[in-house]
Amino acid sequence: MFESVRWELVAPVLGALLAGSAIGVERSFRAHPAGFRTHALVCVGASLLMVAAVHQIEWMGPTAPSDIIRIDPVRMAHGILTGIGFLCGGVIFREGFSVHGLTTAASLWVTSALGVLYGVGFYSLAVGGTIAALVVLSGMRWLDERLPRRSLVDLAIRYRRDGAWTEAELNAVLGDLRLKPMQVSHRLLDEGRLIEHVATMRGAGRVQTEELARRLCSDDRVVEFAIDPRPE
């Protein structure tokens, strides 16, 4: 049975299936929206189209005029990588000030590129690219979590109108905790009974935000507050 199998057609698809599945398993383990099946299908689909493009002369048939046959896998690869952008756009969404799904979109785009490489039979680069993608997605997560970064925290505080902090008082409290508000806005709420201060702070760590929450809880003038670290 295996003697009749055309491995030059099957091997690229199998390689793409394994590569896409490996990346998909990592994405599913991290509970991302595009997981195992999505990445496997993207990689397999790209490889199928590239195999078809490389062997165009076969499926065009012997009756097709030779002057209309143009074997140009580069055009197919360009179409695949452009089309996958629409799929990548579907996993990117904005929540407040944060944008989510960029890494998942990038992994889908890389997976489609790997499918192209497997489809044209460029196995050395395809296997190397698969390993590199897995190292970036899985291995470099440890490094990314330990890199120094400037975090942002959104702060909203509501007071009674007759007991509100001044902006100078708020800045003094934040400065004491080494928090730097980028800008403080003022709002009058609840038909004039409450005043709200809203600010975005730089350089806020967990210890600092916990101390700020403790101080706000102990101040009777504060009616409500929200301290929201921006997720990655």
| pLDDT tens profile 206-232 | 778 888 889 889 888 888 998 887 754
Looking at 102, 119, 146, which one is the last position of a domain? Answer: 146
pLDDT band at 63 (very low <50, low <70, confident <90, very high): low
d(CA 87, CA 81): 10
Count of beta carbons in the 10 Å neighbourhood of residue 224? 12
Contact (Cβ atoms closer than 8 angstroms) between residue 112 and residue 151: no
For the chain, the domain total comes to 2
Residue 19 is predicted with a pLDDT of: 92
Looking at 146, 163, 182, which one is the last position of a domain? Answer: 146
Q: Assess whether 22 and 112 both reside in one domain.
A: yes
Q: Assess whether 136 and 29 both reside in one domain.
A: yes
Q: What is the pLDDT of residues 179-196, one digit of tens each?
A: 878 788 888 888 778 889
Q: Assess whether 128 and 79 both reside in one domain.
A: yes
Q: What is the pLDDT of residues 130-144, one digit of tens each?
A: 999 999 888 777 776
Residue 199 is predicted with a pLDDT of: 87
Query: Could you tell me which residues come within 8 angstroms of residue 148 by beta carbon, excluding any fewer than 6 positions away?
Result: none
| 3-state SS string for the chain | CHHHCCHHHHHHHHHHHHHHHHHHHHHHHCCCCCCHHHHHHHHHHHHHHHHHHHCHHHHHCCCCCHHHCCCCHHHHHHHHHHHHHHHHHHCCEEECCEEECHHHHHHHHHHHHHHHHHHCCCHHHHHHHHHHHHHHHHHHHHHHHHCCCCCEEEEEEEEEHHHCCCHHHHHHHHHHCCCEEEEEEEEEEHHHCEEEEEEEEECCCHHHHHHHHHHHHHCCCEEEEEEEECCC
Q: Assess whether 90 and 104 both reside in one domain.
A: yes
Output the six-digit token pair for 212.
């700020």
Q: Assess whether 137 and 187 both reside in one domain.
A: no
**Domain range for residue 124?**
2-146
Q: Assess whether 123 and 158 both reside in one domain.
A: no
Q: Assess whether 53 and 90 both reside in one domain.
A: yes
Q: Assess whether 81 and 186 both reside in one domain.
A: no
Buried-state track 32-53, b at ≥16 Cβ within 10 A, e below 16: bebbbebbbbbbbbbbbbbbeb
Average pLDDT over residues 147-168: 80
Q: Which CATH number characterizes residue 180's domain?
A: 3.30.70.260
> Would the pLDDT of 117 be above 80?
yes
Q: Does the pTM exceed 0.75? A: no
d(CA 173, CA 59): 73
d(CA 215, CA 232): 26
Q: What is the pLDDT of residues 1-58, one digit of tens each?
A: 556 667 778 889 999 999 999 988 888 777 676 778 888 999 999 999 888 888 776 6
Q: Assess whether 123 and 168 both reside in one domain.
A: no
Contacts of 53-59 spanning 24+ positions with Cβ under 8 A = 53/77, 53/119, 54/119, 54/120, 54/121, 55/9
Looking at 103, 128, 146, which one is the last position of a domain? Answer: 146
Q: Assess whether 157 and 222 both reside in one domain.
A: yes
Q: Assess whether 156 and 65 both reside in one domain.
A: no
Q: Assess whether 118 and 168 both reside in one domain.
A: no
